[in-house]
Amino acid sequence: MDDIEAVLLDMDGTLVDSDGAVERAWRRWAADYQVDPETVLRISPGKTALTTIRQVAPHLDDQAARRAARYQTELQLADAVDTKPLPGATCLLDTLDRLALPWAVVTSADADLAAARLGAAGITPPVLVTADDVRAGKPDPEGYRLAAARLGVPAERCLVVEDAPAGIAAGQRAGARVAALRGHPADLRIPDLHALVALLTPPAAG
């Protein structure tokens, strides 16, 4: 890990525990739009609401799809207050600051939802890239490339930390090394964020 100059972190499922809120919102949305909830939950991780809706409800025109995405985000916003950092998140961010490693959060959530979840979890990223900052969401690499540029670090010198296939693909397409949670294949597989702290922390002298 000696060549890593910055760390780019996904938000939901990586830094913060929002799984329950995400699932509740998508199940409510699926019921309202008469879409199979299991299909939605299978394909939505790591993607923007609009991307998911275009896949599961292709009959909606662009305006209707955007309205549906706003509604889905409103459902998640209403449930964001109980968001908490995942185990190891606080330790990881403290370690990055101690090592003077720049870091950013790159999320498929919009700016309002990202602010609500990160605020509830007590996390203030020095750089935040949301769905509002890019033209294409994950698995497109634009978000990770933008975060690297804002930190002033080549993407090839960044470590992306992700928990979903779409985000892993985005990091790899950006040219970064990718550490994956939840057993997904990537350059590194980590069981939790504590394991990442151990990889980043130089061994004690002696």
Active site residues: 10, 12
CA gyration radius for the chain? Answer: 17
The answer to whether residues 6 and 151 touch, using CB atoms and an 8 Å cutoff, is: yes
Q: How far apart are CA 54 and CA 173, in angstroms?
A: 22
Q: How far apart are CA 51 and CA 53, in angstroms?
A: 6
The residues near 148 (Cβ < 8 Å, ≥ 6 apart) are 6, 8, 104, 154, 155, 157, 158, 174, 176
Q: Shortest CA distance to 174 belongs to which of 199, 192, 153?
A: 153
Place of tokens 């109980």: 82
Type of residue at 93 = L
